């Protein structure tokens, strides 16, 4: 079945995520969770230990497929997300990615000068990032139509934040410094990254990804005007580039902390916006109208509440969106390693149970 036929089929687990992105009626609200394959799952920790490192997990398609499937075996999730990382692009550009235990990502050779930026060039995703494409193909085979597969990339701004040697605890001041001191070099870097992201996501689409998500985790740290100039402008270029390919896939943009920009983000022509937990689905919906679907936005910390309180917060999130199609349930950011896996089941099952009513009211 191709994705058009899948969309046209009656709503069920195999297609309700794609139908919600297209704002078509669904039997219940679809749900997937950012970082659903991750350290809160003991089976993930075991596979990672067996692999030896996070990068080996990403670079071995059999292992990436295994960890992608793990949360789907436990929970009735409505989408799978490719197991990989946004930092595969800078790694393929030669920056040398590694993860320091408890500290997060580091590059051996971060960008230190304008000359470093001007040495970068485009990559062929089927060559330098072939392991990602192989994982996409293998996961699609393994899923065998159970649920759609989400491919993803980081946004140019968020990738630049990491590539310029910044750390999240420094507020990525290196990237802002370059934007202010060498705006032309910054724009050259972001324009190159936008082309690379288009090539990368187009290759994931060709390999079998059925929806594409762009994580702009650090866009919301920018001042208002700078967000438009350094982040949104390149998100719009990516949406244009990906809509021009054969058989385009729906695109979800997620700029964390960028509530002030939702309407402008919808203007890019993307199909959905991800909201963090500080936003109101109701206000966002009033703002974007029927232009895009909305994804989100339960507070990730709500998974520490007792099951009854958690179910209540799920119900409130569904009620905040209100009746009618176009809602994809998710957290407002990734699930954290401290969460009890039983709590995920509470979320997924209550979304489906309460979501049936919200969608009947439509």
Question: Can you tell me the distance from the alpha carbon of 258 to that of 223, in angstroms, rounded to the nearest whole number?
Answer: 10
Question: What is the per-residue binding string for ligand CP3 in 313-352, x denoting contact by CB under 6 A?
Answer: ---------------------x------------------
Question: Taking the CB of residue 323, how many other CB atoms lie within 10 A of it?
Answer: 13
User: Is 19 one of the annotated active-site residues of the chain?
Assistant: no
Among 16, 19, 23, 48, which residue sits at the site for ligand CP3 (rule: CB under 6 A)?
Answer: 48
Token pair, residue 297, equals: 């936005």
Q: Which is nearer to ligand CP3, 11 or 36 (CB)?
A: 36
Q: Which is nearer to ligand CP3, 336 or 356 (CB)?
A: 336
Q: Which is nearer to ligand CP3, 75 or 215 (CB)?
A: 215
Catalytic residue among 48, 140, 176, 285: 48
Q: Which is nearer to ligand CP3, 62 or 290 (CB)?
A: 62
Told to check if 54 binds ligand CP3 by CB under 6 A, we report yes
Told to check if 37 binds ligand CP3 by CB under 6 A, we report yes
Counting every residue, how long is the chain? 362
Burial code of 161-190, b = ≥16 C-beta within 10 A, e = fewer?
Answer: bbbbbbeeeeebebbbebbeeeeebbeebb
Question: What is the per-residue binding string for ligand CP3 in 197-226, x denoting contact by CB under 6 A?
Answer: ------------------x-x---------
Among 17, 75, 152, 200, which residue sits at the site for ligand CP3 (rule: CB under 6 A)?
Answer: 152
User: Is 39 one of the annotated active-site residues of the chain?
Assistant: yes
Task: Give min distance, CB of 300 to ligand CP3, in A.
Answer: 10
User: Is 45 one of the annotated active-site residues of the chain?
Assistant: no
Nearby residues of 350 by Cβ (< 8 Å), 6 or more positions away: 310, 311, 314, 315
DSSP class per residue in 101-145? TTTEEEESS---SHHHHHT-----HHHHTHHHHHHHHHHHHHHTT
Token pair, residue 276, equals: 């963090």
Of 78-97, binders to ligand CP3 (CB under 6 A) are: 81, 83-87
Nearby residues of 58 by Cβ (< 8 Å), 6 or more positions away: 64, 83, 84, 85, 88, 131, 132, 135
User: Is 338 one of the annotated active-site residues of the chain?
Assistant: no
Told to check if 36 binds ligand CP3 by CB under 6 A, we report yes
Q: Which is nearer to ligand CP3, 254 or 321 (CB)?
A: 254
Question: Can you tell me the distance from the alpha carbon of 175 to that of 360, in angstroms, rounded to the nearest whole number?
Answer: 47
Told to check if 188 binds ligand CP3 by CB under 6 A, we report no
Told to check if 253 binds ligand CP3 by CB under 6 A, we report no
Q: Which stretch binds ligand CP3 (CB under 6 A): 17-25, 32-40, 270-278, 324-332?
A: 32-40
Among 34, 236, 239, 253, which residue sits at the site for ligand CP3 (rule: CB under 6 A)?
Answer: 34
Q: Cα dist. 272→18, 98, 150, 286, 295 in Å?
A: 11, 32, 13, 14, 7
Q: Which stretch binds ligand CP3 (CB under 6 A): 31-39, 170-178, 181-189, 342-350?
A: 31-39
Catalytic residue among 13, 23, 40, 85: 85
Among 6, 22, 39, 182, which residue sits at the site for ligand CP3 (rule: CB under 6 A)?
Answer: 39
HSE at residue 76, side-chain half, CA atoms within 13 A, is 16
Q: Cα dist. 359→309, 322, 327 in Å?
A: 22, 9, 10
Question: Can you tell me the distance from the alpha carbon of 329 to that of 348, in angstroms, rounded to the nearest whole number?
Answer: 9
3-state DSSP of 79-106 = CEECCCCCCHHHHHHHHCEEEECCCEEE
User: Is 162 one of the annotated active-site residues of the chain?
Assistant: yes
For ligand CP3, the binding residues (CB under 6 A) are 34-39, 48, 54, 81, 83-87, 99, 104-105, 152, 215, 217, 334
Residues with catalytic function: 35, 39, 48, 85, 162
């Amino acid at each position: 079945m191709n994705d058009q036929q899948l969309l046209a089929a009656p709503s069920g687990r195999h297609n309700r995520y794609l139908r919600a992105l297209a704002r078509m009626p669904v039997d219940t609200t679809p749900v997937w969770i950012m970082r659903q394959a991750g350290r809160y799952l003991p089976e993930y920790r075991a596979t990672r230990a067996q692999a030896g490192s996070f990068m080996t997990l990403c670079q071995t398609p059999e292992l990436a497929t295994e960890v992608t499937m793990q949360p789907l075996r436990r929970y009735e999730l409505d989408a799978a997300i490719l197991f990989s990382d946004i930092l595969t692009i800078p790694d393929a550009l030669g920056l040398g990615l590694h993860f320091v235990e408890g500290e997060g990502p580091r590059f051996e050779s971060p960008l230190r000068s304008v000359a470093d930026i001007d040495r970068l060039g485009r990559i062929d995703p089927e060559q330098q990032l072939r392991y990602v494409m192989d994982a996409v193909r293998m996961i699609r085979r393994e899923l065998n139509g159970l649920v759609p597969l989400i491919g993803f990339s980081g946004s140019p701004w968020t990738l630049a934040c990491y590539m310029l040697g910044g750390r999240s605890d420094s507020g990525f001041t290196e990237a802002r410094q370059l934007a202010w001191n060498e705006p032309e070099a910054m724009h050259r870097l972001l324009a190159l990254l936008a082309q690379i992201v288009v090539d990368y996501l187009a290759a994931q689409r060709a390999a079998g990804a059925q929806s594409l998500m762009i994580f702009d985790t650090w866009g919301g740290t920018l001042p208002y005007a700078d967000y438009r100039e350094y982040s949104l402008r390149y998100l719009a270029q990516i949406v244009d580039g990906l809509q021009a390919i054969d058989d385009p896939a729906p695109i979800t943009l997620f700029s964390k902390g960028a509530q002030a920009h939702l309407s402008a983000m919808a203007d890019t022509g993307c199909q959905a916006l991800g909201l963090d937990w500080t936003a109101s689905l109701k206000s966002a919906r009033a703002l974007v109208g029927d232009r895009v679907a909305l994804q989100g936005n339960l507070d990730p910390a709500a998974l520490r509440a007792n099951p009854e309180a958690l179910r209540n917060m799920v119900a409130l999130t569904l009620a905040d969106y209100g009746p009618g199609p176009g809602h994809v349930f998710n957290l407002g950011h990734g699930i954290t390693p401290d969460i009890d896996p039983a709590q995920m089941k509470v979320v997924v099952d209550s979304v489906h149970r309460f979501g049936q009513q919200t969608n009947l009211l439509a």
